[in-house]
Amino acid sequence: MWVQIFAVLLLLVCMYLVFQHRHLLQEIKRITGTTEAIRAGNLNLRYRLHRSRKPVQDLGGELNRLLDDVQQTFERTQFLEDERKRMIASISHDLRTPLTSLLGYMEALRDDMTLTAEEKRSFIGIASDKGDALLERLQEFFELAKLEADDSPAELHKMNLTDIVQEVLLGFYPDFQKAGLTPTLRIPDSPQYVKGDRLYIRRILENLVSNALRYGQEGKEIGIAIREETDFVWVDVWDRGKGISSQDLPRVFERFYTGMPSRNASLRGTGLGLTITKNLVEKQGGQISVSSKPGEKTMFSFSLLKD
């Protein structure tokens, strides 16, 4: 009798092992099929092994996490490739336009013998301006490339933000006079200490004030303010020009974006100035934002950590 019971038990064990083996083969076949589909290019597929034993489920989970990483890397690579193509097209356009114009004036100076002395002086002045514009574009391209290639954190030191703001504004005094403007200042008398890089902060302020002068001087008011929050000190730079439309507002910090129809097309730059500004703010652990009510007030604000 015991022999019969043992034989039955042995048979049941064998049947169970055969079943498990067949089930494992099915799971392996399913994993293989999913892998082949993923290799064919369908990165959205994932391994579904809910009825499997725990080791197989763990394997499926690890494979899915690996796929998530691969997909993110692929999407990032695709994004960078699209950005590279866009950058090449934008650089080509932004450099070709002033260069073609400069060469045209230089050719006229060389070949047109009918030009008067006054016309020659005018052409030389225009060619010089085009050369300056070309140099400015090249410098912005190289500056942004350098910032994005350098992953190392900025060296932050204790800075008196009030002093830096006043220094930058003093440098713009001739520009304010030329525009017939007296900037509105809301700056505390007491020092406002932040963790930052002096050169970075100056560059941020110069970009924002220059931007306000370029686009907002027709509103007859440009202002700058410093305000405190719990962990940050904020700087606001505003103007009362035509402003930025609601559809353009989310894109003002995008690289090469210059499509603000509300602004004078003749004043548009490369679209890199605000991208550089945002990059410099974030390298110091701060944030930057923009708000605009066209015809009323446009304000750029950035923050730096308190020291």
Do 112 and 165 lie in a common domain? no
Do 273 and 293 lie in a common domain? yes
What pLDDT was estimated at residue 160? 93
Question: Residue 292, exposed/middle/buried by CB under 10 A (0-12, 13-18, 19+)?
Answer: buried
What pLDDT was estimated at residue 54? 67
CA gap 76, 84 in Å, rounded: 12
Return the CATH number at 194: 3.30.565.10
What pLDDT was estimated at residue 262? 39
What pLDDT was estimated at residue 235? 95
Of 149, 175, 193, the domain-final residue: 149
What pLDDT was estimated at residue 264? 42
Q: Looking at the whole model, is its pTM more than 0.85?
A: no
Do 134 and 246 lie in a common domain? no
Do 293 and 169 lie in a common domain? yes
**Look-up of token digits 């509105």:** 184
How many structural domains are present in the chain?
A: 2
Q: How many CA atoms lie within 13 A of 291 on its CB side?
A: 6
What pLDDT was estimated at residue 263? 42
Could you list the mean pLDDT of each consecutive 10-residue stretch along the chain, which spans 307 residues? 53 51 63 68 65 64 73 76 69 71 83 84 84 76 71 80 92 86 88 91 91 84 90 92 84 67 45 83 91 89 91
Domain that holds residue 101: 75-149
What pLDDT was estimated at residue 38? 65
What pLDDT was estimated at residue 90? 64
Do 142 and 180 lie in a common domain? no
